[in-house]
Amino acid sequence: MSKASETFAGKVVVITGASAGIGSGFARHAATLGMRLVLADMAADRLSALTDELRASGVEVEAVVTDVADPLSVDALADRAYERFGAVDMLINNAGIMVMGYSWEIPAERWDAALRINIGGYVNGIRSFVPRLLERSTRTWVLNVSSVGGLLPSPLMAPYSVTKFGTLALTESLAHEMRMKQARVQVSVVLPDSVKSEIFRAARPGDGTPPEIAGFNEQLQQRADTQGITPEEHARRVFEQAAEGRYWIIPQPEMIDAALQPRTDMILSRTNPGQEPGQQPGQEPGGV
Pairwise CA distance, residues 105 & 241, whole Å: 39
More confident residue, 185 or 201: 185
**Within 13 Å, how many C-alpha atoms sit on residue 74's CB side?**
25
- Mean pLDDT calculated for residue range 169-181: 98
The pTM for the full model equals 0.91
- 160 a catalytic residue: yes
Pairwise CA distance, residues 35 & 85, whole Å: 11
Contact 241, 35 (CB under 8 A): no
**Within 13 Å, how many C-alpha atoms sit on residue 219's CB side?**
8
Pairwise CA distance, residues 282 & 50, whole Å: 53
Pairing type for strands 185-190 and 140-145 reads parallel
Pairing type for strands 36-41 and 12-16 reads parallel
| pLDDT computed for residue 282 by the predictor | 56
Which residue in 82, 102, 160, 247 is the catalytic one?
160
pLDDT digits (tens, 9 = 90+) for 75-134: 999 999 999 999 999 999 999 999 989 999 999 999 999 999 999 999 999 999 999 999
Give the model's confidence band at 276: pLDDT under 50 very low, under 70 low, under 90 confident, else very high.
low
Pairwise CA distance, residues 254 & 267, whole Å: 21
Q: 71-104 b/e with 16+ CB inside 10 Å = b?
A: bebbebbbebbeeebeebbbbbbbbbbbbbbeee
- Taking 90 as the threshold, does the pLDDT of residue 208 lie above it? no
Pairwise CA distance, residues 64 & 16, whole Å: 9
* Contact partners, residue 265, CB within 8 Å, separation at least 6: 271
DSSP output for 106-165:
S-HHHHHHHIIIIIHHHHHHHHHHHHHHHT-SS-EEEEEE--GGGTS--TTBHHHHHHHH
More confident residue, 225 or 116: 116
* Phi and psi torsions of 142, nearest 5°: -125, 120
Give the model's confidence band at 207: pLDDT under 50 very low, under 70 low, under 90 confident, else very high.
low
**Runs of H (alpha helix) within the chain:** 3-8, 21-32, 44-56, 71-85, 108-114, 120-134, 158-180, 199-202, 211-227, 231-243, 253-268
